[in-house]
Chains A and B, each alone.
Chain A
Amino acid sequence: MSEPVLIVRDLVAGYEPGVPIVRGASITVAEKEIVVVLGPNGAGKSSFIKAIAGLVPIESGKVELSGNDITSAPAHNMVRLGLAFVPQTENVFPLMSVDDNLRVAGGILKAKEVPVRIEEMYATFPDLARHRRIAAGNLSGGQRQMLAVARALIVRPKLLVLDEPSAGLSPKFVSMVFEMLTDIRKSGVTILLVEQNAKAALSIGNRAYVLVEGKDRHEGMASELWNDPVVAELYLGQRPTVSKAGGAA
């Protein structure tokens, strides 16, 4: 395993003080890996990566990105630090054109670099280039997901964090999105994603963690986890959880 890009230690986080949704989760993501966080509904997966991205208040624990402590960095500084987050839903600005969505995200780059990066993104995602003047709200679900990823990549992040990129997409688009993620990793970007669609995610991931009730309970190589009896037990054998804020998107 090469140099870790992301180290999360004993993270406790939640929207309200004293009511943690994430209860002491730890993971490590090495350079150029795709790491998948799996778990049953309401396990706190979404809150877990939102806390890493600075969107859910952290009570204790530590988040390190390439050796820098980013535990208390505000969400708007994350892209500058090298962490780009793609939310599950509402991940584009619906009334702005595709062009403007990319441009506003390029705000942290040098002004001269922005048009160059936008063209590079259009070269990677030709389907977006065809719709560059269209309001993002009028794109299809798959195109919107593509725009959200392009928007995150435009700033050349070290780590791309995605919250359920396949949610709400038709099977055709699901495989397209996962192919796209494989290509992105090949280009040298490290990826951390949370997925409900375990089979598809494990097929592209290197390693995976299983999160249950806000804690990391199991870890393994993605290729082995699918047939791992422990995983099946963690998914099925757990007592029914009351899906409170933990399941919130």
Chain B
Amino acid sequence: MNLQFIVDGLLTGSMIGLGAIGVTLTYSILRFSNFAHGDFMAWGTYATLAVVSAIGAIFGKVAPIGPLSFGWPLIVAVIIAMGFTGLLALALDKVLFSRLRSKGQSIIVVMASFGASMALRSLLEFLFTSRPTYFSRAIQIAMPFGFGIRITPDQIVLLIVTALLVLGVHLLITKTQTGRSMQALSQNPALARVVGIDVAKVVRVTWLIGGGLACVAGVMIGILVQIRPLMGFDMLLPMFAAAILGGIGSVPGAVLGGLIIGLAEAGAVQLIGAEWRAAVSFIILMAVLFIRPIGLFGVKER
């Protein structure tokens, strides 16, 4: 077996994991499965692409950084687009989810998120067509890493970025007052209000974090694979599988779940063929639900 699947798996896993953080946070704090989360990824990626084009139009062609395929415009663009995606998620909550949530039936909110997902996706196809596009068409030479593994400079940078983001979110949730408020709200919403937590504020922060990370995950796919309006929707099943595998509400769990699914997918491509790739996350999801429904890091509800 070629060990290259480890690098491929870690990269796919990073994309899934970053997306799954948003899924797991919305699920534990807002108590619904947001099926539009994948489309936040796609919107974030197209927003990044739009900002990169705008910077290109103003500053002309910018040389990439060292051996990477992208230059500073992409970095600036991602940061702007993260804010944009966070605000998009907030706006969607304001016009749609929050109104339905107040009626108290989460299944209605879930269905609404399906509708929002379709609308967001179609809007992207309308604006940018469904033709795949790329941040860069330059070809990167993969460096040999030993043991038959090759890795490109882009891939190394993106793995490091993922690790830093995950660490950042984990520290935010465990060490800051905002993060403790998020934990409190997910564990006991009524008591959270009693201790003085402004629920609306925590909900806003949750959307901003989820949207921002979805954007980064989308841009990673954009850099390593390609940009399509369906790119996020296609990640939905693996993301949910990762969030459930890791245990709903757990940030490290979501990331670990993502990595496990990424590695399993990459391994399956080698062992049983690429056409079975999509089945892997489904099988893992079913297995978790049967064997340990609370996931790896999940804790039993009282």
Contact = CB atoms under 8 A, between A and B. Distances in A.
Interface of A: 53-55, 74-80, 85, 87, 90-96, 100, 103-105, 107-108, 111, 137, 151, 155
A105 B198 CA distance: 12
Contact of B196 (A92, A105, A111, A137): A105
B170 interface: no
A186 B184 CA distance: 31
Interface of B: 177, 180-181, 183-184, 187-188, 190-199, 299, 302
Given A90-B302, A95-B299, A100-B180, A107 B195 contact: yes
A151 B195 contact: yes
Contacts of B192: 76
B180 A76 contact: no
B24 to A, nearest CB: 14
B194 A93 contact: no
12 contacts: A55-B190, A55-B193, A76-B193, A76-B198, A87-B190, A90-B190, A92-B191, A93-B191, A103-B177, A107-B180, A111-B177, A151-B195
Given A87-B191, A104-B177, A76 B184 contact: no
Identify the 9 closest CB pairs spanning chains A and B, nearest first.
Answer: A79-B196, A75-B193, A104-B180, A105-B195, A108-B196, A93-B187, A76-B193, A104-B184, A85-B194
A77 B188 contact: no
Nearest to A91: B191
A100 B299 CA distance: 17
Contacts of B184: 93, 96, 104
Given A90-B302, A94-B302, A104 B195 contact: yes
Contacts of A93: 183-184, 187-188, 191
A80 B196 contact: yes
B273 to A, nearest CB: 42
B171 to A, nearest CB: 14
Contact of A155 (B188, B196, B197): B196
B100 to A, nearest CB: 20
A78 B197 CA distance: 10
Contacts of A95: 183, 187, 299
A77 B196 contact: yes
A201 to B, nearest CB: 21
Nearest to A55: B190
A80 B199 CA distance: 15
A85 B192 CA distance: 11
B202 to A, nearest CB: 10
A78 B194 contact: yes
